[in-house]
Chains A and B, each alone.
Chain A
Amino acid sequence: MNKFNINNLDLFYGETHALKNISLNIPNRQVTALIGPSGCGKSTLLRTLNRMNDLVENVKITGDVHFDGNDIYQDSDVTALRMRVGMVFQKANPFPMSIYENVAFGLKAQGNKSKDEIDAIVEESLRGAALWDEVKDRLNSDAFGLSGGQQQRLCIARAISMEPEVILMDEPTSALDPIATHKIEELMDELRKKFTIVIVTHSMNQAKRIADKTAFFWMGELVEHNDTAELFNNPVDQRTQGYVSGEFG
């Protein structure tokens, strides 16, 4: 059962051919890691899945991306897509609002929930992001008062408040210290039970620890895609072998 089917996807930023003929399936309720050196296109691919690339000027996309069987580039309702496909960014990016307002933001934007419903979902989401116990007494204080790791978990809470089916994570721990990273990885282990997770990571060890499937990208190409253990232990391609053994990248 696949959540996303990506077929022959090409993406150009102006003249730059950023993604070259990518075909990849993303299985439901598993963690798929996208790895590769900087500039290999893994973040770009992630951003095609919730159409965040639409914000960039001069982007041209060919090929198709099916989400539960529907082509997301034919179906024009971007808003509905983004409600079902949440995203957590590289750098924690809470809004300049209170902790409560941050988590409630998406629900209020949706505009069809009562105050009590929102209260309940905010609590549930913060619990889901393992942040509730740390913030329950100061829900109305500024989100910027939280530590970096807490802010990132707040962003995860904000994403899961929408009850999405997929969560895209763009190097979510690269700005965090090892302890905060460990907490987020533990959290992802919980989240995989309910959500499909696609994570871009620079850390091969992180991919090994958390991912069911791993895809290796190189210069805009998808070089190899396999079960994580297979990819790291028995890489088929020379380039994959070189990268996972730390020879380059």
Chain B
Amino acid sequence: MDNVISTVRTSTLPEKATKKRDWIATGFHLLFLACAMVGVLSVGTIGWFVFHEGLPAFQQAGVAQIIFGQEWLPPALFGIGPMIVASLISTFGAVIIGVPIAILTAVFLAELAPNWMANIVRPAVELLAGIPSVVYGFFGLVIIVPMIETIFNIPAGNTILAGIIVLAIMILPTVITISETSLRALPGTYKEAALALGASQIYTVFKVLIPAARSGIYTGISLGIARAIGETMAIIMVMGNAPAMPGSLLEPARSLTANIAMEMSYATGIHSSALYSTGIVLLVFIVLLNSCLLYMNRKRTY
């Protein structure tokens, strides 16, 4: 009796179908794996390539000479200290101006705006994300640079301040969109509970909703920072590009990215290698930034 039942259960047809399904599943599994590897391999290749090309400059000039050096006179001196400072200040300034505006916009879109208004503001913000950076540069050159010249009464408005303003606008859409998404993803029960306790809407937003959505907001900010520090074209157009240590926000400066983009076409030998080492510094900043994000987004323990 047992035998009969077992024969019926393991008839050959379903087994074949199962095998075929397994084969398809395995095939897709490999496909997914291959796709995932494209990203990993790209990062690995880029990292290896940049380090391989940049190391000769570090070996010849010395790490301290490059990172802390004040003079950029290829092929003799390769100090990129001023450019590190310019990149950090322009990015930091953009964050200081852009992030508060972006978070308040996200709150407005997610919580306060009537539907019809959100439906105007949101597409406008999304459009901002799609504008090519050369157009931002153009906008900066035509509007912001002359404005700075007039307001501060200086001969050339191509300054770090111009870079900061352009970058602040450029990071808005990233931070707004990701912050709004994470605010909308919160369970409605948080808001309900806070309002039912007699908390005002504004208190609820700042004390419950923004803290609850903070990991998404941090992600938005760090993507914004990555965009700002990696931005090249717009910065070249508005920041003046002088490879000297800037004394104030109203002086021109050259960012790390601008340094690479402007000289790569004609650099050779150790000069070229020094530009790759500029890239190494840029990569290190991005890695540090992501590490900070991971650290801040770790599960908070009270």
Residues of A at the B interface (CB closer than 8 Å) are 50, 52, 55, 79-83, 86-87, 89, 91, 93-98, 105-106, 108-110, 140-142, 155, 158-159, 162
Contact = CB atoms under 8 A, between A and B. Distances in A.
A55 B192 contact: yes
What 8 A-B pairs are tightest by C-beta distance, nearest first?
A: A83-B198, A93-B189, A106-B197, A109-B199, A82-B198, A87-B196, A98-B302, A93-B193
Contact of B200 (A81, A89, A109, A158): A109
Contacts of B212: 95-96
Contacts, number: 72
Contact of A82 (B197, B207, B301): B197
Nearest to B187: A93
Contact of B211 (A96, A109, A159): A96
A44 to B, nearest CB: 14
Contact of B197 (A55, A96, A162): A162
Interface string B184-208: 0001011111111111100100011
Given A98-B302, A109-B207, A141-B302, A155 B193 contact: yes
Given A83-B198, A141-B302, A162-B197, A93 B192 contact: yes
B194 A109 contact: yes
11 contacts: A55-B192, A86-B196, A87-B196, A91-B189, A93-B193, A95-B193, A95-B212, A109-B199, A109-B200, A142-B301, A158-B193
A76 B30 CA distance: 63
Given A95-B212, A142-B302, A79 B192 contact: no
A9 to B, nearest CB: 20
Contacts of A109: 194, 197-200, 203, 207
Given A52-B192, A89-B192, A109-B203, A95 B198 contact: no
Nearest to A111: B203
Given A91-B189, A105-B207, A109-B207, A82 B195 contact: yes
Contacts of B208: 95, 105
Given A82-B197, A93-B193, 17 more contacts: A52-B195, A55-B195, A82-B198, A89-B189, A89-B196, A91-B189, A93-B190, A94-B193, A95-B208, A105-B199, A106-B198, A109-B194, A109-B197, A109-B200, A142-B301, A155-B193, A162-B198
B196 A95 contact: no
Interface of B: 187, 189-200, 203, 207-208, 211-212, 301-302
Nearest to B199: A109
Nearest to A145: B302
A105 B194 contact: yes
B196 to A, nearest CB: 4
B185 to A, nearest CB: 13
Contacts of A142: 301-302
A50 B198 CA distance: 10
Nearest to A90: B189
B261 to A, nearest CB: 44
Given A96-B212, A141-B302, A110 B198 contact: yes
Contacts of B190: 93, 95-96
A159 B197 CA distance: 7
B292 to A, nearest CB: 22
A109 B198 CA distance: 8
A43 to B, nearest CB: 12
A81 B198 CA distance: 7
B302 A140 contact: yes
Given A96-B211, A109-B203, A50 B189 contact: no
